[in-house]
Amino acid sequence: MRIIKIIKWSIRILVATSMFLAISLFLLICTPTGSKLLIKVSQSLIPSSVHLTVDYLSGTLLTGIHANITYSQPKTTAPDAIQFKAVHTQIKIDLLPLLSGNIRLSQLQAQSITITTEPQTKKITTKTKLNRSNPNNSQFNDIFIPKIFINHFLIQALTFKGQQLKNISGNAYLHASNNTINTSVQIHGTYHSQTFYLSLSGYGPSQQFNSQLTFISHQDTMRRLTLIATGQGNLSQNYQFKLTGQALQNTPIKGNARFNLTKKTWQTQLSITKLNLAQFNSRYSSQMNIRLTGDGNQQTGQLKFHLDGTLFKENVFALSNLSYNPHTINFNIQAHNGNNKIMLTGTPKQATLDINLKQIDHILPDSTGQVNIHGNLSLKKISLIGNIDHLILNAPEIYPILNNFRIKQAHFNLDQNNISNTVTASLFVKNLILFKLPIKSINSQFKLKSKHFLLLTRLQTKKLQLDQQAKGQLTEKNIINITLNKFIIENLEKNSAINKDTKLSLVKPVIIKFNLKQPILLTASPFILKNRNRSQGLSLELIQSNTDNIYTIQAKLEKFPLNLINLVTLNKLQLTGSLSGMLNLKLNQATRKLIHINTTLSSSAGEIKAINPASQRIKTVHFQPLSLIIQGDQNNLTAQLNWALGQADYINAQIYLDHYKNLAGHVNYSLKAVNILGFIPNINIQNPKLTGTLKLSGQITSPRIIGSTTLIADLYLPSTGVELKQTKMTLTADGSSHIAIQAQATTEGNQGHLSLHGNIDVTHLQPQATFIIQGSNVQLVDLPYATLYADPNITIAYGKRLIITGNLAMQQGRIQIDQVPQSTTLPTDIKIKGQTQNQSLPINTDITLTLNKSIHINGYGLNTQIEGQLNIISQPNQLTRAHGNLKLLDGTYRLLGQSLNITQGQLIFSGNAIQNPGLNINIERQITPSNPADEAITAGVKVTGNLNKPALTPYSTPTLSKADILSYLLFGTPVPQTSSGNAAILAQLVTSSSLFNTGTGGIVQDIKKTFGLSELSIQSNTSTTQTATSEEESNLDSLRSSTSLVLGKYLAPDLYISYSVGFLGQQIASVRYRLNQNWSINTEAGTTSAVDLFYNIEKD
């Protein structure tokens, strides 16, 4: 025992002595005398110039490095100066995972890095000597910090948790001497497509040090972020920062922070006011205020976050409290938005999570559904349960996968026990739409125990089923060994003759090794899928070289059936035939560069069928075998395609890339017999001939295309009924950034001519185009209910928005308005649950529409010609407006068998909505007396106001009462000479609701509001038939027998009563009661009685 104690004390003394020597050496070096001594020793031992190359370094945080470093002693008279330079240094660094992510610093280059030491020759003044009474100051004066200057450093890529910063460049300078610090750093870089600038500078003694930090980030004006932080104070006592800035377009940011280094306390606050996310994206209207406050010391402290405002016109509120003490950290996070709630409370050792989202549209526009997640989080156990119901997400601006992402129903749970080292997880999804691909169900289970895991997954579409089973083990060195035992792709259409043999399964298990630390794929055995008779399939194999991180990928297709595509498409595309080929690819994983590629691909003969879901029209293209060959190395790449589609149809292409930059090649195609353009929806293309020759040159980032392509065909547009004969369209490229386009066509037996010319600018990320459409006597519509001819002169500009300007002169035509198909539409502010709201392209129009008197309108008793001119203007998210007048010429209106003349007709558009023009119309009737001596009578109605609220004023010559005017208009006789039935109708029309002074819409709304009615309307039953001797009597009898006044009211949300009274006195009372969502009962009592039971079915 005594010997053991002696050994222990010896070790302790040795450690203490070593630490003392290390500290002494460090302090010696940090003194001017020590640094001089170190410099002299270094100069005597190190040669004047050294070139060092490091290829690989392992066992530290630097897992991969390649650097060329040059050290030299400068030729200077100062003997105590040394200089270190790293010229054109390239370093690749992979750091260990940090905050559940990886940091990768790729290709660091520096023009020069200079570290220079200088002797301190300045004498210490009296003031400085007095300051030496402070041990901190004396130590600072004695410690020597050299000058460090990094000139123009460049980091090509910095990756953290999958997010990448690119092209980071800047300069840095640091120097401190005589209690004065001088530093400056400027950095530029890009994040995604957003650039940023960071500047940090500081100057002054430690007792009064000033600093400033500037950060500017912007992609465009909408996303600009500017932050400026200024600091001032004593680095050893008190220091404070003041923060100002601006987010998005005009949202101010203010804040400050104070640090007491003596008392070791801190205090901070930050505010962002009137934050409107619509500046980031127009779909996210909001008005929010954010405040952050906090204070504390070494022992205790708290940080509070508060957010309030509106999001999509709904109140939003969020509160977060975080406090700490020597024992634990407590947090309480809450957020509310309408019926959406998120809560996370507890400590790092024990926390509770609740997410209850009932109104997704209050968070993401054009989205619906419910999400519920509940969980308990602790150091010993984690359990989470979640449910998703009828979820529809339309937010591609956040992530492309969220474009029309749908889940009808989903359930998942997670249980993790850190004591027993077990994890159990399950996921069930029903009716999922991902990237427009419908998936019927997904059922997946995961189990982990003692680093051994099992994963089972089944995925089903309407026609396809995929089964997968894998097991594995996690080793102590973060290596995962995975064995894929089962992988089956099976056709579910058992009765399909085409796909009857489509079942591919693994020939043997696949063994995979994966490194989580890097992460990289280490090894994998061949992945081989075959059908039952081994005649079809694919194989994939990864071969790793023993040195230099070289990977070889070999893939092979053996008569792989193209009809597998039919199993995943929405019945719009069907393929037959097969593909065969091989791929040999060699990559350098370290440099991420291609070393060698050799690919051959060929197909059998087959056909392509496209089905239009609306018309069920099928287009079929038969094709002959194709051949594709790709060959290349680390410098060059060659690709050649030969595809015979028919006897005289082909596509031939050859492309060559020199150093993957310079482009050369050609593309030739001729499609005459094959109507491959028949797949274009809503256009019937007949007898097409598409030919073209293109020559490629330039660079891959800015290619030059020289050549032309021509389409000759007859086009039929079913929506308008117009057939464009002998259509010829030519696109010409001359090697510049613009592609010229010209087209011409004829209509209606070569009577009308249409032409188009313009250009397409492909230099922008989103192509821009300008087209001019001109024509003479062009038939725009040729349908049973309408025929229109016009002379267009329209200019169309396409870019971020669509701008349409020009003139459209309507020359002749007819419109039978009572035969126009009535499509049921909803107002634009009503959205159907579950229906995707497509984001349309913003459209601006400024078109002058001219109509001459050859435009004839007929229907619903109206027979007139129309002429005039309108200037139609529309802008996104605004009503379409118009300026101008339209006149009704030689018009008549037939009412109850009487022909009334339109002596004056004018629709006035004065900048208001085009759907609501002003009215100035006179409708009158001339009555010739039977006695020539009597005066002729003119009875009429003047219609003014607007279309939504017309005002009717009677007039006559000579002056008559309202009843007589209406009687003359409808029956041609005054009231005393009208039959009793007609007189009753006249009395009701004249006395009810001030017919000639208020629009019918206003009358109905006033009565409903006065009596609290849910419904007030006049209904007509057209099924009632009467026998009469004249057309007028027939119309009057029909009016009297089939017209009734209906009043209705909801007494409760599910109980509705109504009462109707007809002009002939018939009365009906009804009661309707909704039992539940689908069932309702309806009873009626009148001349007859009935009871009806209804069942309602709703389909998404």
Confidence grade of residue 62 (pLDDT, cut at 50, 70, 90)? very low
The predicted model scores a pTM of: 0.57
Computed on alpha carbons and rounded to an integer, the radius of gyration of the chain in Å comes to 42
Sheet holding 1015-1020, edge to edge: 1015-1020, 1043-1052, 1055-1062, 1067-1074, 1079-1085, 1089-1095
Residue (of 343, 305, 297, 341) closest to 322 by Cα position: 305
**pLDDT tens profile 881-912:** 889 998 988 888 876 667 888 888 888 888 88
Q: Residue 551 to residues 512, 583, 586, 725, 1096: CA-CA distances in angstroms?
A: 14, 13, 6, 57, 62
Residue 588 has pLDDT above 50, yes or no: yes
**In this predicted model, which residue has the larger pLDDT, 547 or 713?**
713
Higher pLDDT, 280 or 930: 930
Residue 564 is assigned to a structural domain of this protein:
no
* pLDDT band, residue 1025 (cuts 50/70/90): very low
User: Once rounded to an integer, what is the mean pLDDT over residues 924-931?
Assistant: 83
Cα first-last separation, the chain: 85
Please indicate whether residue 357 or residue 702 has the higher confidence score (pLDDT).
Answer: 357
Does 487 reside within a domain?
A: no
HEC letters along 756-813 = EEEEEECCCCCCEEEEEEEEECEEEEEECCEEEEEEEEEEEEECCCEEEEEEEEEEEE
The residue from 108, 140, 158 where one domain ends is 158
Is the pLDDT at 992 greater than 60, yes or no? no
650 Cβ neighbours under 8 A, 6+ residues apart:
642, 643, 644, 668, 669, 670
Q: What is the mean pLDDT of the chain?
A: 75
In sequence order, the 6+-apart residues with CB closer than 8 A to the CB of 1088 are: none
**Residues 206, 187: Cα–Cα separation, whole Å:** 25
Distance from C-alpha of 362 to C-alpha of 180, rounded to nearest angstrom: 55
User: Is residue 1074 a part of any domain in this protein?
Assistant: yes
Chain-centre distance for alpha carbon 878? 22
**Helix (H, G, I), strand (E, B), or coil: what is residue 117?**
coil
Secondary structure (3-state) at 26: helix
Calpha distance 120→142 (Å, rounded): 10
The pLDDT score that the predictor gives to residue 517 is 65
- 192-196, 595-599, 772-776: which range is least confident on average? 192-196
Q: Which amino acid is at 609?
A: K
Q: Which of 338, 350, 413, 428 is nearest to 383 (CA)?
A: 413
Q: How many domains are there within the chain?
A: 2
pLDDT at 830 > cutoff 50: no
Specify whether the CB–CB gap between 53 and 68 falls below 8 A.
yes
Handedness of CA 322, 323, 328, 332 (dihedral sign): negative
In 531-577, the DSSP E strands lie at: 537-544, 550-561, 573-576
Q: Are 551 and 574 in contact (CB under 8 A)?
A: no
**CA separation, residue 469 to residues 203, 516, 527 (Å):** 63, 21, 14
What pLDDT, on the 0 to 100 scale, is given for residue 415?
Answer: 93
Q: What is the pLDDT of residue 1022?
A: 42
Q: Can you tell me the mean pLDDT for 64-86?
A: 48
Q: Is the CB of residue 71 less than 8 Å from the CB of residue 84?
A: yes
pLDDT in tens, 339-387: 889 999 998 889 999 999 988 888 787 788 999 999 998 888 999 999 9
Distance CA 1008, CA 1010 (A): 6
**What is the per-residue pLDDT across 788-811, written as a single tens digit (0 to 9) for each?**
889 999 999 888 788 889 999 988
Nearest in space to 527 (alpha carbons), one of 515, 513, 511: 511
Task: Please report whether residue 1081 resides in a domain.
Answer: yes
Residues 79-97 pLDDT 10s: 444 444 544 454 544 443 3
CB within 8 Å of 129: residues ≥ 6 apart: none
DSSP bridge partners of 1066: none
**229, 241 contact by CB (below 8 A):** yes
Using a pLDDT cut of 70, give the percent of the chain over it: 68
Query: Which of 126, 144, 112, 108 has its CA nearest to residue 29?
Result: 144
Q: Evaluate whether residue 41 is within a structural domain.
A: yes
Please check the confidence at residue 393 and state whether its pLDDT lies above 90. no
What would the pLDDT profile of 414-455 be if each residue is shown by its tens digit? 999 888 889 999 999 998 887 677 888 999 999 998 889 999
Tokens of 407: 């889940």
Between the CA of residue 903 and those of 885, 906, 911, 1060, what are the distances in Å?
16, 10, 26, 38
Backbone angles phi, psi at 34, to 5 degrees: -65, -40
> Is the distance from CB of 106 to CB of 158 less than 8 angstroms?
yes
Which amino acid, 658? D
DSSP label at residue 748: T
Residue 628's nearest CA partner among 646, 640, 636, 637 is 640
Task: Give the span between the Cα atoms of 601 and 582, in whole angstroms.
Answer: 7
Please report the pLDDT score of residue 615 as a whole number. Answer: 55
Interstrand relation of 802-816 and 843-859 (parallel, antiparallel or unpaired): parallel
Lowest mean pLDDT among 66-80, 179-193, 450-464: 66-80
DSSP code for 243: E
Contacts made by residues 488-496, CB under 8 angstroms, sequence distance 24+: 489/464, 489/465, 489/529, 489/564, 490/464, 490/465, 490/466, 491/463, 491/464, 491/567, 492/460, 492/462, 492/463, 492/464, 492/465, 493/463, 493/567
- Across 705-720, b (16+ Cβ under 10 Å) vs e yields bbbbbebebebeeeee
Are 397 and 281 in contact by the 8 Å Cβ rule? The answer is yes
Instruction: Return d(Cα 26, Cα 142) in angstroms, integer.
Output: 12
Quote the domain boundaries for residue 1036.
1012-1100
Between CA 334 and CA 405 the distance in angstroms is 27
Overall average pLDDT of the 737-754 stretch: 79
Give the per-residue SS3 of 1011-1059. Answer: HCCCEEEEEECCCCCCCCCCHHHHHHHHHHHHEEEEEEEEEECCEEEEE
Examine residue 102 and state whether it is found in any structural domain, yes or no.
yes
In a domain, 1052, yes or no: yes
Residues in the chain: 1100
Which is more confidently placed, 811 or 933? 811
**Rounded (10°) CA dihedral 476, 478, 484, 489:** 150
Is the Cβ–Cβ distance between 622 and 678 less than 8 Å? Answer: no
Expressed in percent and rounded to 5, the helix, strand and coil fractions of the chain are: 10, 60, 30
One-letter amino acid at 771 equals F
Q: Are β-strands 265-275 and 778-783 bridged in parallel, bridged antiparallel, or unpaired?
A: unpaired
Given a contact cutoff of 8 angstroms between Cβ atoms, the answer to whether 936 and 972 are in contact is no
- Report which residue type is found at 834: G
Residue 126, token pair as written in the block? 């009296």
Please write down the HEC assignment for all residues of 129-149: HHHCCCHHHHHHHHCCEEEEE
Query: Per DSSP, what are the bridge partners of residue 183?
Result: 174, 202
pLDDT digits (tens, 9 = 90+) for 137-176: 433 444 445 677 777 777 777 766 556 777 788 888 777 7
- The answer to whether residue 55 sits within a structural domain is yes
